Every structure is written in structure tokens, then in C-alpha cells.
Amino acid sequence: MKDDDLIFDKLCSYCAYQERCVSEVMDKLRQWKIDDDKAEKIIARLTEENFLNEERFARAFAGGKFRINKWGRVKISYELQRKQVPDHFIQLGIEEIDEEEYIETLRELLVKKDREIKEKDGFKKKQKLISFGVQKGYEFELVRKVAEGRTVGR
């Protein structure tokens, strides 16, 4: 078995275990000190054989980070950009998130956080809730509306 085949087989396992994006695979290849020309050929083959698919990665990443980590769209988009996923795939990933489920998740997060905040001053408490929602990656205006108890999306 040639070295190239061994590298390819290892990367097939790496990609089959969990969805990966091109930049993660490229990082792995650089870690193994594979030159860029060879790396690009390997990535092209992984893509051809459907072990590597940026759209599938973006959809899985967005859905997982939302459902498991309760991240908002802003944070998900930012992280996908950091991973150098093309914008149109980022958009497709974000569109995977159901709007009603998104708003309800934000509501639940804020209700839970509201119980944890010890602040007595109503204004300061609301500011802390809004700050928390924004840190989780939700859009400022949406967080503000939900924190103020205004009906959103219903």
C-alpha cells in the first residue's frame, strides 16, 4: 500500500467518523506535514467520493450547535466563517433551524437565566438577560424583544 493510499484511508475514517469541512481536513494534512499540492489532490478525491461535503457539514454543524449547545445564528455563522465554509453553505446551514423552535429555545434559555440572576433592579436584570442572549449568539433585537416579554413569531 502506497503512502498516499494510507493517508487517504486515514482521512476517509476521519471524515466518516464525524462531518468535516475542508479547512479541518487541510489542518490535519498540515499537521501530518503533507505538502499543499498533494493535500489539494487528496481533498479533491475526498470530495469526489463524498467523504467531504461542505454543504452537509454546514447543515450538520448548524443543527448540532443549535440543538445541543443552544447557540444562536450569529454565533453559528461566525464559527462557520472561522472554519472557512463558503457563505452560501453557511446560509443553507442557518436555514436548517426552524424559526419557531429557535425563538422557543431562546425563551427557555432566558427564563432559566432569569431564575439564576440574583439582581433585584429590573433594568439591570433585563440588561444581564440581553447580554446573556447575545453571548449565546442570538440576534440583539430578538433577544431584547424576548427579554421584554414581547410576543415574537407567534
pLDDT tens track for 86-121:
999 999 999 999 999 999 999 999 999 999 999 899
**Overall average pLDDT of the 68-81 stretch:** 98
Predicted confidence band of residue 151 (pLDDT cuts 50, 70, 90): low
C-alpha atoms less than 13 angstroms from C-alpha of 114 in its C-beta half-sphere = 15
Express as a percent the part of the chain with pLDDT over 70. Answer: 96
Q: Say if residue 2's pLDDT is above 80.
A: no
Predicted confidence band of residue 154 (pLDDT cuts 50, 70, 90): very low
- Whether the Cβ atoms of residue 59 and residue 96 lie closer than 8 Å to each other: yes
pTM, whole model, 2 decimals? 0.90
List Cβ<8 Å contacts ≥24 apart for 138-145.
138/72, 138/73, 138/74, 138/106, 139/72, 139/73, 139/74, 142/103, 142/106, 143/106, 143/110
Mean pLDDT across the chain, nearest whole number? 94
Q: Return the amino acid letter for 96.
A: E
Count Cβ atoms below 10 Å from residue 121 Cβ, excluding itself. Answer: 9
**What's the confidence (pLDDT) of residue 152?**
58
Cell 461542505 maps to which residue? 54
